[in-house]
Each structure stands twice: as structure tokens, then as C-alpha cells.
Amino acid sequence: MKKMDDKWFGSFEVVEKIGVSAYRLKLLKTWKKVYPVFNEILLKPAVQPSFESQKKPPPLLPVIIDEQKEYEVEEILDSCLHRGKLQFLVKWVGYEEATWQLESDVKDNAQESIQEFYCKHPGAPRKLTIPQQSLRVLYKFISSEGLCGWLGCPTLKGG
């Protein structure tokens, strides 16, 4: 959480009062893992902003291309390998929060942003692509030399 960020989420609709001090709320669909019942100590009434500058601008709507929603990438902030798949931390145009996205979801529409990111951070994790022809040459070399493991590493064989 950043220093000047909102410290409360909301506002949420109260669906019903449960017991003496608990309330069931109508949460966002993306909050599937959050149990919707909260104690009243954790809740406070929603207050509308007093000044125009306190209001958050609505997020930009996605552009629809080929009947699919497309969001514009402002910048790629980071990359990581998660469970063997390359992910990018993407800052979207019109949104404050950056999100982690799979390479396959970003690479088609944000190629320039990815190239800029790797120019700034050459040591960042990336997916290696080895051309098929190079693999054939490597395989021929290994098989012609009679090496018994990958790249000449000895292998253990059971008796």
C-alpha cells in the first residue's frame, strides 16, 4: 500500500444484517475467495468526496478489437518466471495499479513496450527461443561424438 492510497475498499452494498454485529456485503465478482460476512468493527459508512479533487476518475474502457477487449499498455515494469512461464508486470493506461500478466497475453499488442523494457533491463528474466536449425546442429554434434548425456554430461546407469 502506498502512502497516500485509500485505506478502505468500497463502497459495498449491505445485503443483510446477520446476528447482532455482522453484515453480509455484495462484493466484487473478482473477490471470490473473500467471505462476504464482516463484523461491524471492520465497516464504516461510505462518505461521498467533499471536493472535486478527491474524486477518482473512472477507469478507461477497453478498446474492442475482433470482438475482444483490449487494454492499452503504458509501460512494462518488471518480468519474472512463475512456474516456468514468463510474466510481465504491466502498467495500464488509465489505471493506478500494475498487474502481472502472462507473456502470451501481452506479447501481441505490446511488443514495443517489451523491447523498451529489455533495453532498460537487459538482465531481466526472458524466455529463450532457440531456432530449430540450431537444435538440429546441436543434436547432430552430440550424436556424432557419441556423448552419452545432454551436452556431454555423464549419465548414471543402473546395473
Q: Quick: pLDDT tens for 21-31.
A: 999 999 887 78
Q: Give CA 84 to chain center in angstroms.
A: 15
Q: What is the pLDDT of residues 111-153, one digit of tens each?
A: 899 999 999 998 888 876 666 676 677 666 666 655 545 555 5
What pLDDT does 150 receive? Answer: 52
Cα gap 20→39, rounded to integer Å:
9
Q: What is the pLDDT of residues 64-122, one digit of tens each?
A: 777 777 788 899 999 998 888 899 999 988 777 788 999 988 888 888 999 999 999 98
Please count the other Cβ atoms lying within 10 Å of the Cβ belonging to residue 4.
6
What pLDDT does 40 receive? Answer: 92
Domain residue spans of the chain: 1-44, 69-120
69-120, CATH topology level: OB fold (Dihydrolipoamide Acetyltransferase, E2P) (2.40.50)
